[in-house]
Chains A and B, each alone.
Chain A
Amino acid sequence: MQKNNSSSPQTDKSLLARRRFLRNLGLLGATAVSSFTLLEVKAREQKANTTGAVTAEKRWGLLIDTSKCSSGCDACVRGCNEEHGIENEGNDATRAQWIRKIDLKDKLTGSESSVPVMCQHCDSAPCVDVCPTGASFKRADGIVLVNKHTCIGCRYCMMACPYKARSFIHETLTNQKPAAPRGKGTVESCTLCVHRVDRSEDLQPACAVACTDEAHSAILFGDLNDPQSKLATKMKEIGASQVRADLQLNTGVRYHGL
C-alpha cells in the first residue's frame, strides 16, 4: 500500500486534518490547539508504554465487499443490535440504528446493490470537530467514539455527520447489556465493538461475526496500518473506495464494488 497516496486509509494527519482545522478555526485558535494536542499526544504515548493503552500504531477499519452482500439480508444489523442490546422494533426515525442496510440502484446502468452503512470512523471526523465538550473523539487507534460521560446531548455531531450514522437516545432505556452502556439523552453510534476488539482482535465486531455466520463474509475487520494484515491484503487484491470520497474524510470503513 502506498504511503503517500491521498486515498490511503493510513492515518494521515498531516494534510487533511490541518486543512479542515484551519478552515474551521482561524490561525489563532489553530496554533493554540496544535501545541496543546502535541503535548497530549506525548503524554498518551508515555502512558501507552506502561498501561496497554491503545496507540496509533494500529488503525482499525472494516472492508465491506458489497458483491457478497445480499439485499434481503440484515444479519449484520441484527448481530449488532443483539450485541449492544438495541431494539429491532420501533419508530425507524427515532430508534437507534448503528448499522442500516441501504439498497441501491445505479442511475445509469440500473445495476442493484445492497450495502450496510455504519459510522465510517473518519480520520478527520466532522463529528469530532464540532463536539463542544470533546465527548465525540477519535481513539488513538482510529475508532471514533462518543464518551457518553461527557456527552451533553446537543446533537451537533449528528448535524455534522455526512453519513447519518449517529443516533440520539429519545427514550429511557432498561435492561442494557453490561458491555454496552446506553442511556437517554446521549448520542451513540457504531463503536467497532471496542469492548470486543480491545480484548482480542480475533473477537471481530459483532456485525462481521454475524455476516460470516450467515455464510456471506462480506464484512472484514482488521488493521489498515499493517500492510500484511488480512484486511490490507484483501483490499489491495479487490480494491475498495470510500463513501463520499469527495469529502476527503479518509474513512476507516471501505467498500468494494460500490
Chain B
Amino acid sequence: MLRSLATVTHRTIVSVLCAVMLITTAGFWFAGAVAQPVIVPAFKGEQCVADTNLMRSDHMKLLDHQRDDTVIDGVRGAPYSLIGCVDCHAQRSDSGAAIRVDAEGQFCQSCHAYAAVKIDCFSCHAAVPEQARQIGLLPDNPMPHAEINRVMSLLKSTDYHAKEQQFFTTN
C-alpha cells in the first residue's frame, strides 16, 4: 500500500518536474524563425557618427565607452551619445509623432531581434527625442512639415545641445 503510494508520488514528482522544465524553456522550443531585419533608414543626417561598417559591428563598444566617459568623468557633447542615436534614428509616424527607436521593427530593435540581442537601455533612456515632444511633434499637436525640416536642419550639427538652446531662445 505504502509502496504503491510511493511510486504514484514518484511519478507525480517526475511529471511535475518535466512540466516545469518544459514551461520554463517554452520560449526556446516554440520561438518562430526570425525574419531578416529591415534596417530603417536614419530619420536625420547624411551619415552616422562613425563609419557605417564600424557602427554596424562596434556600436556597443562605442556606447559603452561613451557612457563611462560621460557618467564617471563628466565628458559631455562627445559623438557617441545615446541621446544622439535616438535623435537621428527615431522615426516619425505620418502624424509627425516620434516612434520609439526600440519599438517593434524600429532601428534599434529589428537588428537585435535577428541577432537575438536584448538591450535594457531604453527602460531608462528616452527612446524618443525630447525636441519632438517639446516642439509639438506629438499627435495632440501636429506640426507642419516645413517647421519640422527647419528644426531638423538646426539640429543637424553634432553639437546639437547648443543648437537646441539656440532654437528655444530664438523662439
Contact = CB atoms under 8 A, between A and B. Distances in A.
Interface of A: 44, 47-48, 51-54, 137, 139-141, 145, 147-149, 172-173, 175-179, 181-184, 186, 194-195, 198-199
Interface stretch (B30-38, B69-77, B104-112): B69-77
Contacts of B120: 183
A139 B72 contact: yes
Interface string B71-93: 11111110000010010000000
A147 B64 CA distance: 13
26 contacts: A44-B73, A47-B73, A48-B73, A51-B73, A51-B75, A53-B69, A53-B73, A137-B72, A140-B73, A141-B74, A147-B72, A149-B67, A172-B123, A173-B124, A175-B126, A178-B126, A178-B129, A181-B124, A181-B125, A183-B120, A183-B124, A184-B123, A186-B124, A194-B74, A198-B74, A199-B77
A181 B120 CA distance: 12
Contact of B69 (A51, A176, A194): A51
A12 B83 CA distance: 36
Contacts of A145: 71
B129 to A, nearest CB: 7
A176 B71 contact: no
Contacts of B67: 149
A144 to B, nearest CB: 12
Contact of B125 (A141, A178, A195): A178
Nearest to B86: A178
Interface residues of B, number: 19
A47 B73 CA distance: 9
A147 B69 CA distance: 11
A206 B127 CA distance: 23
B74 A178 contact: no
Contacts of A179: 83, 130
A140 B161 CA distance: 24
Contacts of A140: 73-74
A185 B67 CA distance: 19
B160 to A, nearest CB: 11
A53 B74 CA distance: 6
Contacts of A195: 76
A182 B124 contact: yes
A149 B161 CA distance: 23
B161 A199 contact: yes
Question: Which interface residue of A52, A173, A181, A183 has the most chain B CB atoms within 10 A?
Answer: A181
Interface in B112-141: 120, 123-126, 129-130
A181 B75 CA distance: 16
Contacts of A199: 76-77, 161
A182 to B, nearest CB: 6
A198 B76 contact: yes
Given A47-B73, A48-B73, A199-B77, A178 B130 contact: yes
Interface string B22-41: 00000000000000000000
Nearest to B77: A199
A147 B71 contact: yes
Given A51-B69, A53-B69, A149-B67, A139 B123 contact: no
Given A184-B123, A198-B76, A199-B77, A178 B83 contact: yes
A5 B77 CA distance: 38
Nearest to A183: B124
Given A178-B86, A181-B125, A183-B123, A149 B71 contact: yes
A255 to B, nearest CB: 26
A258 B76 CA distance: 36
B24 to A, nearest CB: 22
B62 to A, nearest CB: 15
A53 B161 CA distance: 18
